[in-house]
Amino acid sequence: MDSSNIFSADELKAATNNYSEDRILGRGGYGTINHRNVVKLLGCCLETEVPLLVYEFISNGTLFEHIHRSKGGISWLTWANCIRIAAEAADALAYLHSAASIPIIHIDVKSTNILLDENYTAKISDFGASRLIAMDQTRVTTLVQGTLGYLDPEYFHTSQLTEKSDVYSFGVVLAELITKERPLSLDRKMEERNLAAYFALAMKEDHLMEILDSQLVKEASKEQLVTMAKLVKECLNIEREDRPTMKEVAVKLEGLKKQYKHQLVKQNYIQTTDIIDQDLYPVPSNGNNEYAGSSEFYGQYSMQMDLISEMNRPR
């Protein structure tokens, strides 16, 4: 545990307001890894009945909260921000799978385990179910863990996990991000209650645009949305060997980021590809997680959407 600290019980009580429930973002977790998009382990406390791990505080909650709080309204989760967050999370998972000293399968990839810091940067969290993979192994056998709606279908039948299990779960997160639909919903038809099935059926029946978040449809070109949808479909393949690796997913998402930026440059929406991140990825700056109530934002947003819609209109 490089440069980690041993904290006293009193220090933890002070930092958490005596373990107040309103300070809890999630439960569980362990691990020592170093990546800018993985929640950092600061140390541990050995004075309590159950030893505690201390992680950095992530101030803006979970991606799940932001996705579903904003459904149907104007959100800071623009197309640019959706791609950015997806790329950050994918890069972190690719690191866990291949770049960490010992490969790690997360097992419980979901939008509630992707946290957002003060700059709305994505951080992968909660390694409570994770498994280390020996260099000579490709899979791990374990009792079924994870979260319904995100679980790899093969996992139910074999109890075996591979890195491709995380890829499937991440595909559900991507679908959730671009549709603003929950991974499981009783509001959908029986055969569509699972988001993966709902998304696959929409692709098969060629009504993808009808299920995508309306804000993203206005902002992104159809080509970009279809590219993202195809990536989601690849991640959600029933057969593991047909799914991409997390590294391949991360590379494709980075490609989408660059494509969108170059589109804006080409259309003179921005002047250079060397723009500051906040110019392309605007996030709330007033402490609120949404833009609601800001007439200034609504005016700017309306003009921006008109321009992007015009850019994406067939010539």
pLDDT for position 265: 78
Tell me the per-residue pLDDT of 256-290, one tens digit each, with 9 for 90 and over.
999 998 888 777 666 565 555 555 777 876 545 55
Kindly indicate the confidence band of residue 135, based on its pLDDT and cuts at 50, 70 and 90: very low
Average pLDDT value over all residues in the chain: 79
Please name which of 211, 212, 180, 181 lies closest in space to residue 195, comparing C-alpha atoms. Answer: 181
pTM: 0.77
Q: How far apart are CA 219 and CA 144, in angstroms?
A: 39
Please name which of 61, 48, 37, 49 lies closest in space to residue 11, comparing C-alpha atoms. Answer: 48
Please name which of 31, 259, 8, 10 lies closest in space to residue 131, comparing C-alpha atoms. Answer: 31
Q: Is the pLDDT of residue 66 over 90?
A: yes
The fraction of the chain above a pLDDT of 90, given in percent, is 48
Q: Is the pLDDT of residue 43 over 80?
A: no
Q: How far apart are CA 147 and CA 112, in angstroms?
A: 10
> Which residue in the list 108, 126, 152, 166 is annotated as catalytic?
108
Strands 41-45 and 5-6: parallel
Q: How far apart are CA 118 and CA 97, in angstroms?
A: 26
- Which residues are paired to 114 by β-bridges? 124
Q: Is the pLDDT of residue 131 over 70?
A: no
Cβ of 166: how many Cβ atoms within 10 Å?
A: 29
Q: Is the pLDDT of residue 45 over 60?
A: yes
Assess whether 213 carries a catalytic annotation: no
The full set of domains in the chain, from first to last, is 5-55 (no CATH), 63-312 (1.10.510.10)
The stretch 92-120 carries a mean pLDDT of 89
pLDDT for position 42: 77
Q: Is the pLDDT of residue 311 over 50?
A: no
